[in-house]
Chains A and B, each alone.
Chain A
Amino acid sequence: MDPRMAELLTPFLKFLNGRELGPDDSLRERGLDSMQSINVLFEIEDVFGVSLPDEDITDATFATPATLWTAVSAQLERQGVSS
C-alpha cells in the first residue's frame, strides 16, 4: 500500500488518537463517517490523480485503508497514471 493512502486518510479519523493507521484497521471504528466519503474522494483525486468509478463507492471499498487502496490501485493501472 502506498504510504500516502494512510496519510490522506488520517485527518478524517477523529478516533485514531495518535496511533498509527494499519492497512486492515476499520476506518469506521477509527471515526470515518460515510458523510465524509466525498472529501476522501477529493483527496484521492488530488494525491493520486484518479477518481473512483461510481460502482466502487460502497461500504466494502471504504472498509479499511487496504480495501480503499485496492480500488485506487486498480484505477491507477487502468488509467495508466504513474504514481
Chain B
Amino acid sequence: MTAAPLAELVGRVTKVAEEHVREADETAAFPVQALDELRATGLLGLLVPAEDGGLGGSLADVLETSTELGRVDMSVAMIFAMHCQQVAAVLAHAEGRLRAELLPEIAAGRLYLGSVTTEAGKGGHLLTAESAAAWSEGELLVDRFAPVVTGGNHADGFLITLRAPDAEADNQVSLVYAARDQLEIERAGGWQPLGMRASDSGALRLRGRLPAHQVVGRHGDFHTIVTTVFGPLAHLGWASCWLGTAAGALSRVIASLRGSRGKTDLSSELLMTRLSRARQRLDTVHALIGHARHVVETTADLSVPKVQLLINAVKITAAEECYRAVDELVDAVGMRHGYLRDSPTRLEQSLRDLRSAVLNYSNDRLHLADGRLTLLDQEVRFA
C-alpha cells in the first residue's frame, strides 16, 4: 500500500465516528461524517488494486478494518463491510466497460455501493428473485421493492438482484449495477429500529432503465457470485464487525473497572468468571474468522459442503457469541454501568446493535441450509 499505513487511515475514520456515535444512535441518522471520512481516506477503495487507483488491500485488511470500526460504531462498520462486499463482487465479476466505469469511481471514494438483495416474502434468501428484469429496446427495465437497504438513501449506486430477463426459474438471478441518478427512488417505509439505528436501512422502491452492459457477471449466474464472493465476504465481514463491537464493549468495561479500583471489588470471583467468559467468547470468534479467511484464500472451489459449513459457522457463531459476551458484561457490571444509556461503557447500545446479528440473514435460515449440507458430508471432514 502506497498511502498512509492502514491503521492511520482507519484511525481517522474511528475518530470521526466516535464524535457522532451517540447522536447517530439517538436520532437514527446515517453517519454521513464517517462516510465522508471513508471517502477521503480512500478506504471505500480499500479492495481496488493499486494499478486501478485503489489502496490494493486484502481480505484481511477489510476484516481488520471492519473490526476496528465496529469497536466504535457497529453501523459504520456494517456500512463499510457491506460496501466492500459489493466492491469485491465488481472486482471478481464485472467485466469490460462496466468494470472500467466503476473502478476509478470506487477508488476515488465517489462511489459508495449499496446492496439491494432483499425482497418481501423471501426473508433475505439470496438465491431466488421474484422481481424480474425485462428488456425494453435494448435496455434493462428495473422495478423493484426492497424491504431492507442499508444506506439506501446515501448510496451513490446499487448492486441489485433481479430475476434474469426471460428466465423461467426463480433461481436464475442476475446482479445489475444502477447509479443513483439512473433510478427513481422512493422511500417505502421508515427506519426506527431497536439497534443499528445509524445504518438507515429502510425500505425502498427502485425503478429505472439501465444500459444492457450494467450486468455484473452473466445473466442468471448470481449463484456463482454468492458462492465465490457474496457469501464469504458477507459472513466474514459481518462477523468482524460484531467482534469489533463486542471487543469495544469489553475494552470500555475493563477501563471502567480499572478506573474505579478501590470502589469495585476486583477479587470478586463472579466478576472474574464473567470477564473470562466474555473474553473467551471473543477469542473463539476471532480464531474462527481467521481460520475461515485462510480457507477462503486458499481453497479453489468454495462450493464444497465442508467449506460452506465453515463459512456459515462463522456467521452463526459470531452472531450468538458476540451478543452473549456483551449480555454477560451487563450482568458483570450491573445496572448503573451496564444498563444506563449514558454509561461510558455504552453496553446498552452495543447490546441493542448486536441483537440484530442473528437476524441479519437469519441464523434460523442458515441452520436449515447447514442441516442439508451436514447430510451431504458423511465423513465429517473439516475445512
Contacts and interface: CB of A to CB of B under 8 A. Distances in A.
A28 B171 contact: yes
Contact of B169 (A15, A34, A35): A15
A31 B377 CA distance: 23
User: For this complex, into which size category does the number of interface residues on chain B fall?
Assistant: 20 to 34
Interface stretch (B1-9, B40-48, B303-311): B303-311
A21 to B, nearest CB: 14
Interface in A8-44: 14-15, 17, 28-31, 33-35, 37-38, 41
A57 interface: yes
Contact of B301 (A30, A51, A54, A58): A58
B369 A54 contact: no
Given A28-B171, A57-B304, A57-B305, A41 B220 contact: no
User: For this complex, into which size category does the number of interface residues on chain A fall?
Assistant: 20 to 34
Given A57-B376, A58-B304, 12 more contacts: A14-B169, A17-B168, A28-B172, A29-B167, A31-B169, A37-B376, A38-B372, A54-B305, A54-B376, A54-B381, A57-B305, A59-B224
A15 B166 CA distance: 13
B372 A37 contact: yes
Contacts of B372: 35, 37-38
Contacts of B379: 54
B375 A38 contact: yes
B267 interface: no
Interface of B: 127, 167-169, 171-172, 220, 223-224, 227, 301, 303-306, 369, 372, 375-379, 381
User: Chain A: interface secondary structure?
Assistant: loop
27 contacts: A15-B168, A17-B168, A28-B171, A29-B169, A29-B172, A30-B169, A31-B169, A34-B127, A37-B372, A37-B376, A38-B372, A38-B375, A38-B376, A41-B376, A51-B378, A54-B304, A54-B306, A54-B378, A54-B379, A54-B381, A57-B304, A57-B305, A57-B376, A57-B377, A59-B224, A59-B303, A60-B301
A55 interface: yes
Which of B127, B169, B377 counts the most A-chain CB atoms under 10 A from its CB? B169
Contacts, number: 50
A21 B227 CA distance: 26
The list of the 9 closest CB pairs from A to B, nearest first, reads A59-B303, A15-B169, A15-B168, A58-B303, A38-B375, A57-B376, A31-B169, A54-B377, A54-B379
Given A38-B376, A54-B378, A28 B223 contact: yes
Contacts of A38: 372, 375-376
A24 B376 CA distance: 24
Contacts of A59: 223-224, 227, 301, 303
Contacts of A58: 301, 303-304
Contacts of B227: 59
Nearest to B307: A58
Contacts of B301: 58-60
Nearest to B224: A59
A17 B379 CA distance: 37
Interface string A46-61: 0000010011011110
